[in-house]
Structure 1
């Protein structure tokens, strides 16, 4: 009868787990060890230290002891085991850890503790020591920590310390430890794409390293100099400071590399073909380091159709917000805006905050390092409503209106290598508000309006190295107050009293139609960021043929031929500048928005 009942009802099973059993058992074993009860082996260190233990506990805690006591080694029969090279205090701490799971780690004992943990194969204890040292990492000691990690063969500490050395190289380069690096170690840092240092500092670091031991290190100058990415160094610094450095002048290869850059810049080319310097081409095309990032900046213009704006903003992609930079020193109507060598230039314009407006030759610059406006060498001619474009180490200023309010065809060029302006060949035809872009040794001027404000259907092309213009009529071109932007080998002309966007393929010499804008757009601005075209503000013509100011912020992807809204500007804006500036991240790899630039979030 009982068996029938058991078959009819399912058997209930209670799975019990005693949460305190394992910790209680460990405590009991530790008490037995302390009272020397059932201990069957003593671990010895030095002459006076004997620590009674239980073999089964040691075997269970470490592969080292398992191999010692479970195989046919002599220690299996011994009751006293001497562990050479392990200090008595360290051995005592490790045995306490085995029986309790607790240990105190300090800078005084961490190195011998790691060495003992490695020898006795206590992996978790070894990594705990590594974690402790990682918490002590700083730019001042990270190179020493790398040396320590090599002594104890700790990969996790080495990787973390190297990561800090790369990200904090601006600080690390000033430490004495850097001068103790071997040549391969220093080369490893200087060729790292992720190195957080400006190229000027890379050069100064290698010079300091050589001067630390000039007799044995002087011969390394040419190998080290190849790690400096010359294309991304300001020409003034390169040709006036680096070129005149005694170390560089002592090396024929270094001077040849600098001359190759000089020839390339004077030729007006961005592409290196068949230069005589050994291995120059791969050095020239080396990318910016990952510590550099591109930032979209909007500056000046007419704000909310009320007055000319002094605002300068940048878009923080990480938090999807616009943030303020320092304000322009003066209100300028129809100035031009251009970026060169990570510096924003605001050129000319009509002064708008004086009783008597004047056409200006003044050039204002803003560096993202300092977030301060300064004045640069002024233009040769005052002008406003003109166009500016940068190419290599040049800024070209084209056309516009002079003090007499008449349209001019004059062109002038700023040479950042010599900090001077010079007059260049004038445009074949003076036009107002054309679309302008520079690529492959040429400046392209599309359309615009004549002195009677009629659209012109021409393309004017300037050959930079030859200082010569040519003019072509083209029925496809009919844009006024439209910006141009370059992605790959195509120049995109965006709107201009029309919804149309077209791309001029410079290689194929033909126009390609692209996806239309949502509205007829003019007086807007555009720039390229990460191979996409970003368009800001402007004025548009609504469905009732009324002109309205815009706060639109849109992105065009050439790969998919699609437009995407990126939200809006903090206010309506037109006739402004929209540029991409390259800036150097701080040593922690954070966006500059979190430090000195940020005066507030919009």
Structure 2
């Protein structure tokens, strides 16, 4: 009988046992050996059977042995607590225990092995995982301790599970502490995930809790210095720094080196003037040569920008004059019999004949230093549709990544024709009128992360059709109509740090149903309805440093209840109603460098009283009304500035909203 056995190397060769059998039967008979191999050739085919339940059954059996204390051959002592185990099982699961138990150390022969650097509770959880494959933790703190213990013991599976779950639990209030923890324990994946939250949602992280104020100067310096820090404007970085410095008096000594991380050239000129006038900061500029040089650099940068803008304007004017003269020469040469144009007639440049072409910005030289590099723009996470006709409290959230609408916690006050704005990732809703048509002074604030509303101190004056904007971290409520029916030119602003309203300089004229937006450190009010009830085309600009309103170029079309927001350094006035009450789909954009309004691509639908918000470089317009019956629209249109085109968002919101607002946070 010949017995074939597969060699241990899996090659299918003949084993020593086979060779010995051949020798006993006469050996050397090649033909016999050949016949045997030929007859048994099918034995080389391998049948593989696998039981998927075996690993779980094996773990279950090992767990039962551990529970019964059977075959345990080692005691692991952690924080004075003894844990029985099987050497082979724990050595196979932990890099550290394998090194101790089979690596030739003294622990290899000891019945009791002491483990340092691990707490008993975390070790019990890890030991349970080794014998069951499951981790049970009750909160983030336990996960953090478990991550440290698994890193120390070299139990990669537990470590990876902890990192994965901690990444899922990352949010605005804990991102800073999670990042600091990850740096301390050397967990690169968790540090990167936490840094993405801190840098990408900086203003919201600052507003979310006290962790920001607990940062050390070195930790704050690292955050502010990053090129990945994303903000809507550099002013947010400056305001966050002042908030941190003012939290504790001794921190003023760190202001010079931290102020150097604020990119002063990226601050709008009015804001930069305000920085210079701040007594605390002014002292730094006076006594610190490095900071003074950075301030001078910023001033030179803005001066150069202004010179380039003026030069570009002169060149454009020269081209326009040249084109006009050339056209006149051609007409004369052709012997035209038409009467010459009056000398006072202004000839528009050819470029103006194409209304949908966006204005080109003057070419500026590349920034000469890091301080002149623009930071990345903050990426909004969601859009929130707030209230609206018929005086709702209902709120819907739109998340682009999921392309879906979700109803959130309702506002505390029913309202429409209100104003809203976002500061530090928190949404403020101001004024409007209630279900009975009464003007409101009520103000409330929404935390999108917590989905919670809270009441704030009311305005000094009840206002419906109010314009609301943000400037230098202050919330402005502008104009509107009083409960008595007359329209207002008064202005008040709310300090979000002190929760107090204060009176500000009034506009030049009363306005209701107006819109407000901030651009380049100034506040703009656009259109609205006058005290006599006429639609307004005038525009005013407020300088917070001079505390002064000035008129700028008027709209090409008078608009009541138009949408207004800023995108790519331009103001966009959207829809509304004209002097005759006709609803508008037209859109116009304002360039503050040239002080001109230009027609842009119109919306697909006429709208007035629509909500407007900007997110991810796109302008979103929601709801509004377009029918004589004042029917509200359940649609959203999106403006692409580069293509100068509109598209309808699908799916649209669940609710049709008129006289509502839209906010990004």
TM bracket (short chain): 0.5 to 0.7
Task: Work out whether 1:458 is the aligned partner of 2:458.
Answer: no
* Residue of structure 2 equivalent to 1:588: none
User: 1:352 Cα shift?
Assistant: 2.6
Task: Work out whether 1:345 is the aligned partner of 2:428.
Answer: yes
User: 1:113 Cα shift?
Assistant: 9.1
Q: CA separation of 1:164/1:203 partners in 2, compared to 1, >3 Å: closer, same or farther?
A: farther
Q: Structure 1: how far apart are the matches of 2:629 and 2:417?
A: 23
* Residue of structure 1 equivalent to 2:303: none
1:188-246 C-alpha deviation (Å, 9 max, x unpaired)? 869944558935799848968x7xxxxxxx9x578557559696979998656653437
Contact 1:492–1:503 at 8 Å: present in 2 too?
Answer: yes
TM-score (norm 2): 0.56
Q: Greater strand share, 1 or 2? A: 1
Contact 1:455–1:480 at 8 Å: present in 2 too?
Answer: yes
Q: Structure 1: how far apart are the matches of 2:181 and 2:189?
A: 11
* Residue of structure 2 equivalent to 1:420: 500
The secondary structure found in structure 1 opposite 2:542 is strand
* Residue of structure 2 equivalent to 1:248: 251
Q: Structure 1: how far apart are the matches of 2:274 and 2:161?
A: 38
Q: Structure 1: how far apart are the matches of 2:16 and 2:98?
A: 25
1:283-298 equivalences in 2 (<5 Å): 286-287=375-376, 293-298=380-385
Task: Work out whether 1:573 is the aligned partner of 2:657.
Answer: yes
The secondary structure found in structure 2 opposite 1:248 is helix
Task: Work out whether 1:513 is the aligned partner of 2:611.
Answer: no
Higher relative contact order (CA 8 A, sep 6+): 1
> Which 5+ residue runs of structure 2 have no aligned equivalent?
21-72, 74-87, 104-129, 138-142, 277-284, 296-369, 577-582
Contact 1:143–1:178 at 8 Å: present in 2 too?
Answer: no
* Residue of structure 1 equivalent to 2:271: 268
1:268-293 C-alpha deviation (Å, 9 max, x unpaired)? 3599999927889759965578xx74
* Residue of structure 2 equivalent to 1:52: none
User: 1:477 Cα shift?
Assistant: 3.3
Contact 1:234–1:341 at 8 Å: present in 2 too?
Answer: no
Task: Work out whether 1:522 is the aligned partner of 2:506.
Answer: no
Q: Structure 2: how far apart are the matches of 1:397 and 1:309?
A: 21
Q: Structure 2: how far apart are the matches of 1:484 and 1:206?
A: 35
Contact 1:301–1:573 at 8 Å: present in 2 too?
Answer: yes
Q: Structure 2: how far apart are the matches of 1:30 and 1:203?
A: 69
Q: CA separation of 1:34/1:367 partners in 2, compared to 1, >3 Å: closer, same or farther?
A: farther
For 2:554, which of 467, 471, 474 is the aligned residue? 474
* Residue of structure 2 equivalent to 1:396: 476
1:17-416 equivalences in 2 (<5 Å): 109-111=93-95, 139-142=144-147, 170=174, 173=177, 180=184, 192-193=195-196, 198-199=205-206, 204=211, 224=222, 226=224, 239=242, 242-245=245-248, 248-249=251-252, 251=254, 253=256, 268=271, 276=291, 282=371, 286-287=375-376, 293-302=380-389, 307-352=390-435, 358-416=438-496
* Residue of structure 2 equivalent to 1:487: 567
The secondary structure found in structure 1 opposite 2:593 is coil
The secondary structure found in structure 2 opposite 1:243 is helix
- Quote the RMSD (CA, aligned, Å): 5.2
Q: Structure 1: how far apart are the matches of 2:584 and 2:399?
A: 30
Q: Structure 1: how far apart are the matches of 2:89 and 2:293?
A: 54
Contact 1:462–1:470 at 8 Å: present in 2 too?
Answer: yes
1:345-366 C-alpha deviation (Å, 9 max, x unpaired)? 111233336xxx6433221111
1:126-185 C-alpha deviation (Å, 9 max, x unpaired)? xxxxxx9x9979544445666778xx9x9x999998888777663894799768558x99
Q: Structure 1: how far apart are the matches of 2:262 and 2:198?
A: 26
Contact 1:222–1:253 at 8 Å: present in 2 too?
Answer: no
Task: Work out whether 1:551 is the aligned partner of 2:641.
Answer: no
TM-score (norm 1): 0.61
Q: CA separation of 1:223/1:492 partners in 2, compared to 1, >3 Å: closer, same or farther?
A: closer
Contact 1:447–1:459 at 8 Å: present in 2 too?
Answer: yes
Q: Structure 2: how far apart are the matches of 1:516 and 1:399?
A: 28
Contact 1:331–1:352 at 8 Å: present in 2 too?
Answer: yes
Q: Structure 2: how far apart are the matches of 1:406 and 1:294?
A: 39
